[in-house]
């Protein structure tokens, strides 16, 4: 492949808007409290690398020495440069001046944090406000909410507390009754939001807390667990109860015809292999499962599931910045095996715009790389390259989450 071919495809891709299937964009208050480079980095994926920034020279030095070649950092830096119009790289010498520039941009305009996404090519972003499930951060100009159902899987008792300290009973206005009543309260809560156009998908990220091996219903056990005080419930009972609620959510997603986004791969490593979800996928044929993160590192497993099950949609969300080369492999693989090219999507999965824009640049690069290689190999024609690029950049996302019929 010549550089010219890559460049031609890349330039075309850069002219297109991008649809993101997944974000955790922080709310207005977070940005109003002021931004610095240290804060932006701590709230990007580089913050997960274990070199926290506390504003000191020493912390910055340690951070740069260790993290500067990590894929998260590479794309964050590019995003930062694009968002703030900076040519300089992040070094100890440029740190303060970059930080001041960033501070000023956010202080001058309280809407900067979301407007800048639009200005940098984002079309729409599916927002997962896990701290307030179903919220669009008050910015429906750009965000459409997915509904994080995880908390409901913990609602076995009035006093039980789900992830992010959310009380599930409180969240669905449930004041007591039977297990069936609880399920109905969940359904009502979601349905009401859906009717207002405030739920374009469901999301489950329980891979961070438990295995994604969600067994079929054990209704008897779920009913027994229901009403048990958090001090007395066993881990086994919690899992069984969680399975039961997860299955009900799969049914509701099918009824509402919204896709169900499921975190697979990188979380708790044992228990997040996408193959563990196969029984769920087989059981709920009418539910469309978006398998997130390419199941990284189990990329091929997601490809195989997409190959065998019509209700699997492979998503390269987050993968582009976890590992650029793995995302290239994932995309090439999914283009080959997915029964429908219209099923492949991507999202940045970020909290701050510098990271989101950087991840978007990664995705554009990855698509250009794969598409130009396919052309060079003679596997696709030049005129098909643009069709493919448009699907990957925004058409698939709009179709799957755009509130149309949602059918592929
Ligand atoms: Zn996420």
Give distance in angstroms: CA of 348 to centre of ligand 1. 8
pLDDT at 124 over 70: yes
What is the reported pLDDT for 197? 87
Across 364-389, average pLDDT: 96
Alpha-carbon span 113 to 179, nearest angstrom: 42
Q: How far is the CA of 327 from the centre of ligand 1 (A)?
A: 16
CA of 347 relative to ligand 1 center, distance in Å: 9
Q: How far is the CA of 143 from the centre of ligand 1 (A)?
A: 15
pLDDT value of position 389: 98
Predicted local confidence at residue 1, as pLDDT: 59
Asked if residues 223 and 288 have their Cβ atoms less than 8 Å apart, the reply is no
What sign does the dihedral 143-147-151-155 (CA atoms) show? positive
Confidence of residue 407 (pLDDT cuts 50, 70, 90): very low
Span 56-60, mean pLDDT? 97
Which ranges of 323-381 would DSSP assign to H, the alpha helix?
A: 324-337, 353-376
Which two structure tokens, joined as six digits, stand for 171? Answer: 């969240």
253 in Cβ contact with 202 (< 8 Å)? yes
| pLDDT, mean of residues 125-142 | 93
Check pLDDT > 50 for residue 408: no
How far away, in angstroms, is 284 Cα from ligand 1 center?
23
**Is 323 in contact with 301 (CB distance < 8 Å)?**
no
CA 377 – ligand 1 centroid, Å: 34
Domain ranges, ordered by start, for the chain: 123-401
pLDDT tens readout for residues 274-324: 999 999 999 999 999 999 999 999 999 999 999 999 999 999 999 999 999
Q: Give the mean model confidence (pLDDT) for residues 215-235.
A: 93
The pLDDT tens digits for 2-18 are 688 999 999 999 999 99
| Kind and range of the H or E run holding 12 | helix 3-14
Owner of token pair 């228990």: 271
The per-residue pLDDT for 54 is 95
Cα(211) to ligand 1 centroid in Å equals 17
Spatial contact of 361 and 367, defined as CB atoms under 8 Å apart? no
C-alpha 219 – ligand 1 centre gap (Å): 30
In the structure, ligand 1 is a single-atom ion and the residues with CB under 5 Å from it are 349
pLDDT over 60 at 175, yes or no: yes
Q: What residue spans of 122-259 are helical by DSSP H? A: 168-171, 179-195, 219-225, 235-256
**356 CA → ligand 1 middle, Å:** 12
Whole-number Å distance, alpha carbon 25 to ligand 1 midpoint, is: 10
pTM over 0.85: yes
Tell which phi-psi region holds residue 335, choosing left (phi > 0), alpha (psi between -120 and 50) or beta. Answer: alpha
The DSSP bridge pattern shows strands 122-127 and 18-23 to be: parallel
Tokens 């429908």 belong to which residue?
340
pLDDT at 25 over 80: yes
Residue 404 confidence class, pLDDT cut points 50, 70, 90: very low
pLDDT at 228 exceeding the cut of 70: yes
CATH tag, 123-401: 3.20.20.140
The two tokens of residue 78 are 């590019």
* Residues ≥6 apart with Cβ < 8 Å to 258: 194, 199, 200, 201, 202, 406
CA 259 to ligand 1 centroid distance, Å: 15
Amino acid 214: pLDDT: 86
φ, ψ (nearest 5 deg) of residue 176: 130, 160
Averaged pLDDT, 332-353: 97
Locate tokens 């390259």: which residue? 385
Distance (Å) from CA 30 to ligand 1 centroid: 18
Residue 406: its pLDDT value, please? 39
Angle, helix 71-84 to helix 324-337, in steps of 10 degrees: 90
- Which alpha helices (H) appear in 196-231, and where do they start and end? 219-225
φ/ψ of 380, rounded to 5, equals: -135, 155
Lowest mean pLDDT among 82-86, 194-198, 255-259: 194-198
- CA–CA separation, 376 and 5 (whole Å): 8
From residue 174, give the alpha-carbon distance in Å to each of 44, 179, 187, 272, 308: 36, 11, 11, 31, 39
* Statement: residue 332 has pLDDT above 50: yes
Ligand 1 centroid to 293 CA: how many Å? 9
Token readout for 182 is 């609880």
Task: Let me know: does 251 contact 284? Beta carbons within 8 Å.
Answer: yes
Average pLDDT of the chain to the nearest whole number: 94
Cα 93 to middle of ligand 1, angstroms: 33
| Phi-psi sector, 354: left (phi>0), alpha (psi -120 to 50), beta | alpha
CA 26 / ligand 1 centre spacing (Å): 12
């Amino acid at each position: 492949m010549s550089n010219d071919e890559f460049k031609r495809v890349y330039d075309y891709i850069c002219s297109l808007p991008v649809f993101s299937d997944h974000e955790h964009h922080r709310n207005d208050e977070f940005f109003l409290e002021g931004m610095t480079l240290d804060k932006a980095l701590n709230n990007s994926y580089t913050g997960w690398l274990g070199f926290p920034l506390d504003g000191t020279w020493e912390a910055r030095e340690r951070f740069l020495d260790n993290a500067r070649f990590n894929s998260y950092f590479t794309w964050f830096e590019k995003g930062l440069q694009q968002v703030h119009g900076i040519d300089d790289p992040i070094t100890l010498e440029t740190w303060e001046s970059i930080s001041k520039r960033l501070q000023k941009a956010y202080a001058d305009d309280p809407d900067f944090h979301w407007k800048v996404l639009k200005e940098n090519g984002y079309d729409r972003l599916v927002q997962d406000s896990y701290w307030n499930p179903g919220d669009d951060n008050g910015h429906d100009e750009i965000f459409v909410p997915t509904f994080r159902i995880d908390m409901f899987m913990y609602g076995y008792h009035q006093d039980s507390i789900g992830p992010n300290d959310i009380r599930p009973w409180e969240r669905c206005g449930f004041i007591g009754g039977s297990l069936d009543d609880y399920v109905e309260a969940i359904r009502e809560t979601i349905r009401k939001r859906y009717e207002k156009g405030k739920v374009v998908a469901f999301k489950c990220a329980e891979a961070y807390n438990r295995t994604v091996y969600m067994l079929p219903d054990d209704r008897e056990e779920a009913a027994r667990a229901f009403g048990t005080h958090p001090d007395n419930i066993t881990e086994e009972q919690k899992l069984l109860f969680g399975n039961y609620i997860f299955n009900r959510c799969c049914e509701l997603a099918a009824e509402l015809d919204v896709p169900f986004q499921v975190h697979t791969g990188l979380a708790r490593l044992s228990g997040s292999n996408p193959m563990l979800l196969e029984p769920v996928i087989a059981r709920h044929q009418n539910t469309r499962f978006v398998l997130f993160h390419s199941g990284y590192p189990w990329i091929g497993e997601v490809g195989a599931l997409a190959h065998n099950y019509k209700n699997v949609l492979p998503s390269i969300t987050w993968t582009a910045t976890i590992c650029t080369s793995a995302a290239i492999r994932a995309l090439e693989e999914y283009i080959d095996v997915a029964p429908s090219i219209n099923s492949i999507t991507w999202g940045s999965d970020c909290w701050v715009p510098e990271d989101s824009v950087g991840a978007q640049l990664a995705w554009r690069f990855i698509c250009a790389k794969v598409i130009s290689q396919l052309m060079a190999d003679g596997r696709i024609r030049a005129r098909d390259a643009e069709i493919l690029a448009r699907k990957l950049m925004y058409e698939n996302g709009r179709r799957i989450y755009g509130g149309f019929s949602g059918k592929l």
